[in-house]
Amino acid sequence: MIKASGLIKIYNGNIVLNGIDFVLPRNKKIALVGANGCGKTTLFKILIGEESPTEGRVTLENEKIGYIPQEFRLDPNQMVGTFLLDLLEEEWEFYKVEALLQKLEFNNYDEYQRIGTLSEGQKMKLVMIEQLLKDPTTLLIDEPTNHLDIEGIMWFEKYIKNLDISVVMISHDRQFLNNTVDSVWEIEKGKIISFVGDYDNYKEQKLKLIGKWNEEYTRFLRKKTQLENLIVNVAKIKAGTKRGKAVRAAKKRFEREITKDKKEEYIEEKMKTVEFDTQIHAGKLVVSIQKGQKKFENVTVFNDLNLEIRGKDRIWIYGQNGTGKSTLVKIINTAFKQTNNQYTNIGGEKDPLELTKGTVTVGPNLKVGYFAQKSSFLNYKSLLKDAVFENSTVAEIGQVYSLLGKFLFNKEDVEYKRVGDLSPGQRARFVFAIFSVNDYDVLILDEPTNHLDISTKEVIEESLNEYKGTLILVSHDRYFVESVNITKTFNLREKNIVFVGN
């Protein structure tokens, strides 16, 4: 049994967790959700003993916890075979590793391959082997689907469902949660609220709960007004013993029913939608690739690839990890960057990426924005306000407050927080804030929703639904893809691109 009692966690005077209580049941699959920065990863670190609570305690009875973090701490230069052997006390125990390799469908590995050359999904499987060898009774996993392609996610869904231990997962992938969990725990205002069922069940129950809270708040306001009037009325009684008793009784009732049992209106903090103003014509050429080939040394990523994208097209590119999705959009990005188009490179590589053979043609007079997977362009030591100035055309501090306020950063965040202080989700939201400054004819989005909380995803979905320009999207988030009105789907596989359909 894992039991949390009165957990409070305070960072720099800010209360992150404010009285967390729960008992974790056996053999349950639980989603831990909540806004970026609400304390989900902090709670995981307290449970594994990496951090201590400010108050409260965690009790483990006959439990062993395994933990798979968001960002893997692996030596990129270590060989896979050496890593696996180092997990064991004796070499003869390697049969345990072989059994897990088979369960995780990771059989065709090269023991002499360096870990740094593996896909993120393969790295996650190595970390899972490391944790599963400890025979945990409960497994904590932080954002597992960020590292997997769609086929990997579908495999992982089946694996988790059949895993005979408790699993608690931080995830913002709504389709994944619908297919795996039987409970949803939400951290809100520092406390945990528990819901039964999958993500869709949670959403339905949460809406009902919000309705109930707002009804209670309305009744609270009505009662508050009544008691305030009562205090005023009893004070008008003629002076004497009766008036004193009546006033004291009314005030005690107000203290008991209003002051000590205060209700608050439920107000959801939500990012504002982004409005992009574009007049791109439906028939205008945006990108044309003819007989495209890309090789890295002796490895061919794709060959004889042909692709045409025109104004108003909204395309989704998907495929397994390593098939070249990011490579393809980086090549398109470079082609725009090398023309006279108005261009904003958010998080993209400084070095250009071009075809080995073939041609890329892009349309003229287009305003283009590129949102890359990693925000490595940011200086993590910069204050948020300075990072905005460094990476956008915003020139006044008032504009910075206004811009970041729309993305749920307050004045204190703007003035005193550094980029490195942000959680991965907050950092992704910050990058999108910079990205949103301009109006674009073409949006190139490579995994834009990684690390974003569900509420922010929903706002971006609304924004993209209203967007009238050309959208080029790489994403493994099926729920997100279904929500942004894609018109054409392409599968990158077997070193080429295949049109799947409209």
> What is the pLDDT, as a whole number, of residue 249?
86
**Tens digits of residue pLDDT in 258-298:** 888 888 888 877 787 877 778 889 989 999 999 999 998 88
pLDDT surpassing 80 at residue 76: yes
Tokens of 433: 């804030």
> What is the pLDDT, as a whole number, of residue 160?
93
Least confident window among 137-146, 162-171, 251-260, 348-357: 348-357
**Residue with more model confidence, 236 or 229:** 229
pLDDT band, very low/low/confident/very high, at 193 (cuts 50, 70, 90)? very high
Q: How far is CA 217 from the centre of its chain?
A: 31
Contacts of 15-20 with C-beta under 8 Å, sequence gap 24+, read 15/190, 16/42, 16/190, 17/42, 17/43, 17/46, 17/53, 17/187, 17/190, 18/189, 18/190, 18/191, 19/56, 19/190, 19/191, 20/56, 20/187, 20/190, 20/191, 20/192
pLDDT surpassing 60 at residue 166: yes
**Residue with more model confidence, 104 or 32:** 32
Beta strands in 323-383 (DSSP E): 342-346, 357-362, 367-371
Least confident window among 6-10, 332-336, 422-426: 422-426
**Locus of tokens 């004070």:** 235
**Residue with more model confidence, 439 or 316:** 316
pLDDT band, very low/low/confident/very high, at 437 (cuts 50, 70, 90)? confident
> What is the pLDDT, as a whole number, of residue 296?
86
State the chain's mean pLDDT as an integer.
88
SS (H, E, C) 460-471: HHHHHHHCCCEE
pLDDT surpassing 90 at residue 118: no
> What is the pLDDT, as a whole number, of residue 245?
82
> What is the pLDDT, as a whole number, of residue 20?
94
> What is the pLDDT, as a whole number, of residue 344?
54
**Residue with more model confidence, 347 or 119:** 119
Residues 177, 32 contacting (CB under 8 angstroms): no
Q: Helix, strand, or coil here: 20?
A: strand
DSSP string, 374-419: --TTS-TTSBHHHHHHHHSS--SHHHHHHHHHHTT--HHHHHH-BG
As a whole number of angstroms, the distance between CA 182 and CA 464 comes to: 31
The mean pLDDT value for 452-459 works out to 87
pLDDT surpassing 60 at residue 161: yes
pLDDT surpassing 90 at residue 131: yes
The C-alpha angle 371, 157, 63, rounded to 5 degrees, equals 110
> What is the pLDDT, as a whole number, of residue 498?
93
**Tens digits of residue pLDDT in 62-73:** 999 999 998 888
Least confident window among 92-101, 117-126, 196-205, 424-433: 424-433
pLDDT surpassing 70 at residue 474: yes
> What is the pLDDT, as a whole number, of residue 64?
93
Ramachandran assignment for 409, one of left (phi > 0), alpha (psi -120 to 50 degrees), beta (any other): beta
DSSP string, 254-312: HIIIIITT---------PPPP-------TT-EEEEEEEEEEEETTEEEEEEEEEEEETT
**Tens digits of residue pLDDT in 385-402:** 998 888 787 889 999 999
The mean pLDDT value for 241-264 works out to 83
Q: How far is CA 349 from the centre of its chain?
A: 22
126, amino acid identity:
L
pLDDT surpassing 60 at residue 205: yes
pLDDT surpassing 80 at residue 239: no
Q: Which of 31, 32, 30, 20 is nearest to 57 (CA)?
A: 20
β-bridge mates for residue 292, sequence order = 305
Q: At what angle do helices 397-406 and 424-435 cross, to 10 degrees?
A: 120
Q: How many CB atoms lie within 10 A of CB 204?
A: 12
Residues 366, 341 contacting (CB under 8 angstroms): yes
pLDDT band, very low/low/confident/very high, at 96 (cuts 50, 70, 90)? very high
**Locus of tokens 């082609």:** 335
